[in-house]
């Protein structure tokens, strides 16, 4: 029976952790670092009693001796506290540092990459030794895994910690400390046991997944990028590390001391995750380390262009947000609003205000911003961004892109991008024979479009020299259509007459053995005709005869002065009634009825002065008669070449 006269009140939760005299005495007199659980009673919010909870002091060798003591509390499995069978009670909670750090870690998650943290609440805690405001922190255990990895929660958790040595009295021997690192210590598990402690599946004692991770992290540089991502969720590691570096978390592996983290091997996915832990010693130095490079192995990883730009991109998200989302760190308002809501909720329970965190964040911004390069457009730089021809079945495309680019699609399909620096990339793209229109689309981590560019690459891989087997017909007047038959014709093929590119050619890959061109306006002669593919290979020459062009005239221009006016109507009248000669009767036939009579003069006057119909083609520019040859002729037309 436990009786008290003063209710324990608070704006937050209230916990009573009551030991009988014997266990309280034993808790204080036994070896400081004993993890044996002692029996106690726990009262939640002055309403619910939990009997036979297990308790012990918790914390590192530096924290256990401090006051007030910090506790691990274990509840019966059939009577959990708010769905948790274990909680940690920390004396650091009132400073809000861990809560702010957890918030930043969580904000670094994406829809595809989870950055877990340990959930916590404030509580007013009364023990046999006194009453304190403490933070009730969720441990990293199977319940935690079910929360964050509900479909893959049956894996291996390992706690990363320094190798500790103690005297018989329990004093910590700091001179014998061995911090954890990511360095390769061989294939024997004894090299890892002190620094990587199982927290699940302990009895299996299976270090092989860890050893595979460590050896891959220290593996051959030429295959590191691909092999690493098969065993380690690299982006998830980087997102956790970016958050911890950003808030100056110097007490964790690769940033400072080799401890205060967990790693989790998700068996279904087959990859390791990095889980943050114990982020109390944070928000101190605004000029602190920005990269997790205090470990030679991880320093090597973060120095690789692919991962360095990813890391810098995460810093940019923290500064400026992603997509349409506001920046997480712009002035510190997002985190501090979160903290202020929490501190307001618990009011007089002794929780500190958030101004130290806010001030740190505003000061830290400049240090982080210096790591982010100036914005650069997403663009293709190969051949200056212009279309080009490639004689292989694939093309290497080079380009630029900013740190917000996470994925690139080529013609709607994801493609592998190799980043050669923070803002420069290359991609090897498969090509089909002929023209390939490559549309590049750059997306950020949430699928927002952040850039686009395109290029047409003509692949000549496997092409042979084109041959001409026939010209149909082998001669033609300017404007006539000529069919060229042969082999090895491809998209982009051109026709040359005496080495003159004639321009437009009709060609379709659906009928690759022929093409059609229009005889250009050239002087009558026999010329050498060749065809040339985009790879530069040309056919042998064949003869083609350009015939004299048909007569050129302007309909209605009876006097051949290249203008249609009243003088032309007069010319027609004089032809009809005075016998004046007309050199091009087709030109005088204004209504194109293949007769010259008074109606042609009237037709022209109607057009000139009463808004009548214009003369038929060719009009108003010179040209040949588009119709079939009629009774009229044009012995003395205009110069078809414009002279």
H, E, C per residue of 505-529: CECCCCCCCEEEEECCCCCCEEEEE
* Band (59; pLDDT cuts 50, 70, 90): confident
* Band (175; pLDDT cuts 50, 70, 90): low
Given this model, what pLDDT does residue 223 score?
87
Stretch 373-390: mean pLDDT: 96
Stretch 515-527: mean pLDDT: 95
Given this model, what pLDDT does residue 324 score?
65
Given this model, what pLDDT does residue 643 score?
53
Given this model, what pLDDT does residue 8 score?
80
* Band (176; pLDDT cuts 50, 70, 90): low
Read off the tokens for 370.
């210096």
| CB contact at 8 A, 477 and 523 | no
Stretch 474-486: mean pLDDT: 95
Given this model, what pLDDT does residue 60 score?
80
- Position with higher pLDDT, 297 vs 93: 297
Stretch 491-497: mean pLDDT: 94
Residue 612: which residues within 8 A CB-CB, separation 6 or more? 603, 606
What are the tens digits of pLDDT across the range 615-636? Answer: 999 999 999 888 777 778 898 8
Q: Is residue 326 scored above 80 in pLDDT?
A: no
Stretch 255-264: mean pLDDT: 96
Given this model, what pLDDT does residue 31 score?
85
Stretch 109-117: mean pLDDT: 89
Q: Is residue 331 scored above 60 in pLDDT?
A: no
Stretch 506-525: mean pLDDT: 94
**Which residues on adjacent β-strands are paired with residue 471?**
484
Burial group, residue 385, by CB count within 10 angstroms (0-12, 13-18, 19+): middle
Q: Is residue 415 scored above 70 in pLDDT?
A: yes
What is the rounded distance in angstroms from the CA atom of residue 443 to the CA atom of residue 451? Answer: 7
Residue that the structure tokens 């221009």 belong to: 557
Looking at residue 162, what DSSP letter applies? P
* Band (280; pLDDT cuts 50, 70, 90): confident
Residue that the structure tokens 């092409």 belong to: 463
Stretch 299-321: mean pLDDT: 93
Given this model, what pLDDT does residue 642 score?
73
Given this model, what pLDDT does residue 93 score?
60
Q: Is residue 330 scored above 60 in pLDDT?
A: no
* Band (327; pLDDT cuts 50, 70, 90): low
Q: How far is CA 48 from CA 43, 51, 116, 349, in A?
A: 6, 10, 30, 21
Q: Is residue 189 scored above 70 in pLDDT?
A: yes
Stretch 283-287: mean pLDDT: 93
Query: Picking from 29-33, 84-88, 464-468, 614-618, which range would have the lowest pLDDT averaged per residue?
Result: 29-33
The structural domains of the chain, ordered by start, are: 1-91+115-148 (no CATH), 151-372 (1.10.1070), 379-457 (2.60.40.10), 467-546 (2.60.40.10), 551-642 (1.10.1330.10)
Q: Is residue 1 scored above 60 in pLDDT?
A: no
What is the rounded distance in angstroms from the CA atom of residue 425 to the CA atom of residue 451? Answer: 14
SS3 call for 54 = strand
Q: What rounded mean pLDDT belongs to the chain?
A: 91
- Position with higher pLDDT, 242 vs 176: 242
What are the tens digits of pLDDT across the range 549-576? Answer: 889 999 999 999 999 999 999 999 999 9
Stretch 583-606: mean pLDDT: 94
What are the tens digits of pLDDT across the range 136-149? Answer: 889 999 999 999 99
What are the tens digits of pLDDT across the range 118-127? Answer: 988 888 999 9
Q: Is residue 513 scored above 70 in pLDDT?
A: yes
User: Which DSSP string corresponds to 561-573?
Assistant: SS--SHHHHHHHH
In terms of Cα–Cα distance, which of 273, 281, 245, 278 is closest to 260?
A: 278
Given this model, what pLDDT does residue 10 score?
74
In terms of Cα–Cα distance, which of 77, 78, 81 is closest to 125?
A: 81
């Amino acid at each position: 029976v436990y009786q008290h006269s003063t209710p324990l009140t608070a704006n937050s939760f209230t916990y009573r952790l009551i030991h009988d005299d014997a266990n309280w005495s034993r808790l204080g007199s036994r070896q400081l670092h004993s993890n044996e659980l002692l029996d106690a009673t726990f009262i939640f919010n002055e309403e619910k009693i939990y009997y036979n909870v297990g308790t012990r002091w918790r914390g590192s060798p530096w924290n256990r001796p401090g006051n007030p003591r910090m506790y691990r509390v274990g509840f019966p499995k059939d009577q959990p506290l708010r769905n948790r069978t274990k909680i940690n009670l920390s004396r650091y909670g009132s400073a809000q540092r861990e809560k702010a750090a957890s918030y930043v870690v969580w904000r670094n998650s994406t829809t595809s990459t989870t950055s877990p943290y340990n959930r916590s609440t404030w509580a007013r805690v009364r023990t046999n030794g006194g009453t304190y405001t403490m933070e009730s922190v969720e441990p990293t255990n199977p319940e935690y895994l079910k929360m964050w990895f509900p479909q893959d929660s049956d894996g291996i958790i390992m706690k990363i910690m320094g190798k500790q040595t103690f005297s018989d009295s329990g004093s910590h021997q700091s001179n014998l400390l061995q911090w954890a690192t990511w360095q390769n210590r061989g294939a024997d598990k004894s090299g890892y046991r002190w620094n990587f402690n199982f927290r699940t599946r302990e009895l299996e004692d299976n270090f092989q997944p860890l050893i595979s991770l460590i050896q891959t992290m220290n593996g051959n540089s030429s295959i590191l990028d691909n092999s690493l991502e098969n065993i380690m969720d690299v982006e998830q590691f980087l997102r956790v590390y970016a958050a911890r570096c950003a808030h100056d978390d110097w007490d964790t592996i690769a940033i400072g001391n080799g401890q205060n983290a967990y790693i989790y091997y998700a068996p279904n996915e087959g990859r390791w995750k990095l889980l943050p832990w114990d982020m109390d010693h944070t928000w101190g130095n605004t000029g602190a380390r920005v990269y997790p490079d205090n470990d030679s192995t991880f320093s090597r990883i973060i120095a690789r262009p692919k991962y360095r730009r990813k890391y810098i991109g995460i810093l940019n998200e923290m500064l400026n947000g992603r997509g349409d989302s506001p920046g997480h760190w712009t002035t510190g308002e997002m985190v501090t609003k979160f903290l202020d809501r929490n501190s307001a909720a618990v009011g007089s329970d002794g929780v500190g205000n958030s101004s130290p965190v806010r001030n740190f964040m505003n000061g830290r911004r400049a240090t982080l911003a210096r790591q982010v390069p100036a914005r650069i457009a997403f663009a293709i730089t190969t051949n200056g961004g212009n279309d080009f021809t490639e004689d292989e079945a694939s093309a290497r495309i080079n380009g630029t892109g900013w740190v917000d680019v996470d994925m690139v699609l080529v013609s709607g399909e994801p493609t592998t991008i190799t980043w050669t620096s923070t803002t420069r990339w290359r991609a090897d793209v498969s090509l089909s024979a002929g023209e390939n229109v490559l549309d590049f689309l750059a997306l950020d981590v949430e699928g927002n479009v952040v850039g686009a560019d395109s290029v047409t690459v003509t692949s000549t891989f496997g092409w042979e020299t084109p041959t001409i087997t026939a010209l149909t017909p082998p001669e033609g007047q300017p404007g006539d259509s000529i069919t060229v038959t042969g082999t090895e014709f491809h998209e982009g093929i051109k026709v040359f007459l005496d080495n003159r590119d004639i321009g437009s050619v009709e060609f379709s890959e659906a009928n690759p053995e022929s093409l059609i061109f229009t005889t250009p306006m050239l002087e009558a002669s026999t010329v050498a005709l060749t065809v040339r593919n985009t790879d530069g290979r040309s056919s042998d020459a064949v003869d083609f005869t350009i015939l004299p062009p048909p007569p050129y005239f302007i309909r209605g221009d009876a006097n051949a002065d290249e203008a249609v006016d009243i003088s032309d109507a007069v010319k027609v009248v004089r032809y009809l009634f005075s016998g004046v000669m007309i050199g091009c009767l087709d030109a005088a036939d204004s209504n194109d009825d293949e007769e010259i009579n008074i109606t042609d003069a009237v037709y022209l006057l109607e057009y000139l002065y009463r808004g009548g119909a214009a003369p038929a083609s060719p009009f108003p520019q010179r040209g040949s008669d588009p119709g079939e040859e009629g009774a009229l002729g044009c012995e003395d037309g205009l110069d078809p070449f414009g002279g």
